[in-house]
Structure 1
């Protein structure tokens, strides 16, 4: 039966889905080869606050496996916060600067070879025209080659005042960043590297990888983090994966109907295509805007800020949908905490924007002066967002929406749910780890 479906076509009341519409199964060759020692080292670095300017925030703080490799918030609190997820609180009174303007994206499968673009706006991207083949933001040009775009992405949040570096006057790293001193022996990257290298346990671990007499460089840290993320958060054994690999009963009838909608009438696969349900492109879908924004006080023109092209305004990178049921809130700014609400927005972006329920946003309380909702009070800005939207409305009934949701649940890989190695008991710096439990 399975081979008949794959070689002929799938038919249901939702329409017809041809075998050519379905992606090929994910193969081991779709991921790079990994080194066990490097993966183990990257795990320690991922959870260690030593990479932050004030020794108080780790990569895992906003990308924790207990919270779907995010932090379960629409917009994170980075530097200046204490706690994990919804329990995180501002402790140094630096609001509203503490709110990160975009949602912390999920990390599932980012280490796969085809992921050549990072961040919601694609500001890190493989490029033959860039130094060492990876385009970086202005002032963040690479000093040495890196193994992947993911490795390059890893060494940027540590340079953000609001994410991990801290603010000027709080530590030498933050001061160097404020002075645009990023590169060289006294630059911020090297200062962070020196903190790691000064810990004997880290230096000994790197000795096995780069050699005992080789000075540590920030690229070594980026590569180690990349190898860990690639191993830990690989999500390729979902029921859908099993179905593509030939297991006839991997999907139940509801999920099968949802798959046919996804790759057919619902038009989801026009953007969420390929093995990981992403075309790696940029699209404007009319999401409501809130928070501090990225330009002009509160606006966020997305990809347009990188390319300078009007056609790219309000476009954001298509995310993979693997483990999408675990990784909300959804959208470049986490506009929707509920996955079904996000699906319904896709079906009618204009309706979703015009009647957006602000209770969908998961935001920490930062006081009354944050102006989070100023963009939605600006009719001109709302109209610009609406006019940029490029998704045509799709009419699905309630049964079909339920079937589509069932298929999205079939993209969940239980093995990757909490990571393959999990959270370490301690890190070499002996700084405190983020608490795993989140009462939310």
Structure 2
């Protein structure tokens, strides 16, 4: 089942090389600068969270290249930013780790992006009459500009990410009534802050007074910010496409990347086929369980499609700026690029050699019994093993080092210097992480 016919492999690689033309500003969804400015403030404003203690930027921070540096994030109730974030204390202490690694935001506004989230549960579609196939189904409001704007709405209503627990606040309570009930409450919080209300009136043609602001405009502002803020197309590889040589080790890595198996999945200018593959990453954490699922597992794409053939498959991530976004994998299982490459080369061998100390999980004593419980389930471990759909490939340590050098050549020269960056203050007056 893992074998690929040589001719098919050659044609596929040739196609990938042919379509790699580089990225330009014209490849992104256009955005309005005034809306993006509102989005920047909202991105770091904890007013969007149920208990007003976490923002989008907490887990997608500029200081950490749009991520948080953790394997599994610490959401609502935690304190601090990045690898130093702690799990909170007393009544505010977290009840669960975030089940998956915080994905990077790079190039989400590229016109070729077709789906979002690790399991692809958000796509463009007319199935519900609102432009998207999403977890909100027909309850997602109409008028959202793009996938990024739609995606921005869901962390706000996720219990362990931003909403909080039932009975703690009105947003968490409303979310448990129906998925869309909390969004109008969030919108009212925002529009009744005078500075926000005025900015929305000035930036959106359809807003005549602050009372007109809905979650749609909030999502569109966040989308405008994310799209414009996290563009990256000025890496050494992009210069190589126009004739500038790469360093020798990166050039060897580039040749190996495109003539070997890497480019089959990490294809095109974004280095992703936007498809799903079962790599068999070592399992840990609370899992992203489905309704009635009694064990702490994450079945990946299957949770969206309900197809057994999709079990334990996850979306291929883009590799642009990948050197800045450790740890790696849908659950952040590996701390370094060489570790992740070794897993791709020998998934089963790497699984067997993996140890829990490779996961970057801030100490949370009351969750210790849950963190690695799934690894004691022999049947679940066997199912994950059987689902792996990558055949082993021999790579020397020198070849791994060359591949790492090429992946570093995908880092944008201005990746750490963003157009707007993190604001010092936000209109709500709440502290900025």
Equivalent residue for 1:189?
183
Cα gap change, 1:191 to 1:63, in 2 (>3 Å): same
Matched, 1:108 2:106: yes
Which residue, out of 249, 256, 273, partners 2:251? Answer: 256
Equivalent residue for 1:9?
none
- Please say if residues 51 and 168 of structure 2, whose CA atoms lie closer than 8 Å, have aligned partners that are also in contact: yes
The Cα offsets for residues 383-410 of structure 1, whole Å up to 9 and x where unpaired, read as 1111111111111112111110100000
- Please say if residues 128 and 137 of structure 2, whose CA atoms lie closer than 8 Å, have aligned partners that are also in contact: no
Equivalent residue for 1:169?
167
Which residue, out of 336, 339, 351, partners 2:337? Answer: 339
Return the alpha-carbon distance in structure 2 between the equivalents of residues 259 and 130 of structure 1: 43
Equivalent residue for 1:423?
422
* Aligned partner of residue 329 in structure 1, secondary structure: coil
Equivalent residue for 1:316?
314
Return the alpha-carbon distance in structure 1 between the equivalents of residues 326 and 405 of structure 2: 16
Return the alpha-carbon distance in structure 2 between the equivalents of residues 121 and 362 of structure 1: 22
Matched, 1:206 2:200: yes
TM-score (normalised: structure 2): 0.91
Q: Structure 1: give runs of 5+ residues left out of the alignment.
A: 1-16, 435-440
Equivalent residue for 2:5?
none
Return the alpha-carbon distance in structure 2 between the equivalents of residues 20 and 217 of structure 1: 42
- Please say if residues 80 and 98 of structure 1, whose CA atoms lie closer than 8 Å, have aligned partners that are also in contact: no
- Please say if residues 302 and 316 of structure 1, whose CA atoms lie closer than 8 Å, have aligned partners that are also in contact: yes
Equivalent residue for 2:52?
55
Equivalent residue for 2:27?
30
Equivalent residue for 2:67?
70
**Following superposition of structure 1 onto structure 2, how do residues 139-158 of structure 1 map, counting pairs within 5 Å?**
141-158=139-156
Structure with the larger helix share: 2
What is the root-mean-square deviation of aligned Cα atoms in Å?
Answer: 1.6
Which residue, out of 276, 280, 303, partners 2:270? Answer: 276
Return the alpha-carbon distance in structure 2 between the equivalents of residues 299 and 373 of structure 1: 11
- Please say if residues 283 and 297 of structure 2, whose CA atoms lie closer than 8 Å, have aligned partners that are also in contact: yes
Return the alpha-carbon distance in structure 1 between the equivalents of residues 146 and 15 of structure 2: 32
- Please say if residues 79 and 98 of structure 1, whose CA atoms lie closer than 8 Å, have aligned partners that are also in contact: no
Matched, 1:228 2:222: no
- Please say if residues 73 and 98 of structure 2, whose CA atoms lie closer than 8 Å, have aligned partners that are also in contact: yes
* Aligned partner of residue 301 in structure 1, secondary structure: coil
Aligned residues: 411
TM-score (normalised: structure 1): 0.90
Matched, 1:247 2:246: no
Return the alpha-carbon distance in structure 1 between the equivalents of residues 273 and 124 of structure 2: 15
Return the alpha-carbon distance in structure 1 between the equivalents of residues 304 and 213 of structure 2: 31
Following superposition, the deviation at residue 368 of structure 1 comes to 4.9
Following superposition, the deviation at residue 65 of structure 1 comes to 1.5
* Aligned partner of residue 132 in structure 1, secondary structure: coil
Return the alpha-carbon distance in structure 2 between the equivalents of residues 357 and 375 of structure 1: 14
Following superposition, the deviation at residue 95 of structure 1 comes to 6.0
Cα gap change, 1:345 to 1:121, in 2 (>3 Å): same
Greater alpha carbon shift after TM alignment, 154-163 vs 352-361: 352-361
- Please say if residues 95 and 366 of structure 1, whose CA atoms lie closer than 8 Å, have aligned partners that are also in contact: no
Return the alpha-carbon distance in structure 2 between the equivalents of residues 91 and 248 of structure 1: 49
Return the alpha-carbon distance in structure 1 between the equivalents of residues 123 and 305 of structure 2: 12
Return the alpha-carbon distance in structure 2 between the equivalents of residues 165 and 349 of structure 1: 36
The Cα offsets for residues 201-234 of structure 1, whole Å up to 9 and x where unpaired, read as 1111100122323711111111111111111111
Return the alpha-carbon distance in structure 2 between the equivalents of residues 310 and 95 of structure 1: 36
Equivalent residue for 2:96?
98
Following superposition, the deviation at residue 18 of structure 1 comes to 5.6
The Cα offsets for residues 211-269 of structure 1, whole Å up to 9 and x where unpaired, read as 3237111111111111111111111110101111x1323x112111101111112x111
* Aligned partner of residue 364 in structure 1, secondary structure: coil
Which residue, out of 109, 125, 128, partners 1:127? Answer: 125
Q: Structure 2: give runs of 5+ residues left out of the alignment.
A: 1-12
The Cα offsets for residues 97-150 of structure 1, whole Å up to 9 and x where unpaired, read as 331111100001011111121110111111232332211115673121211111
Greater alpha carbon shift after TM alignment, 24-33 vs 54-63: 24-33
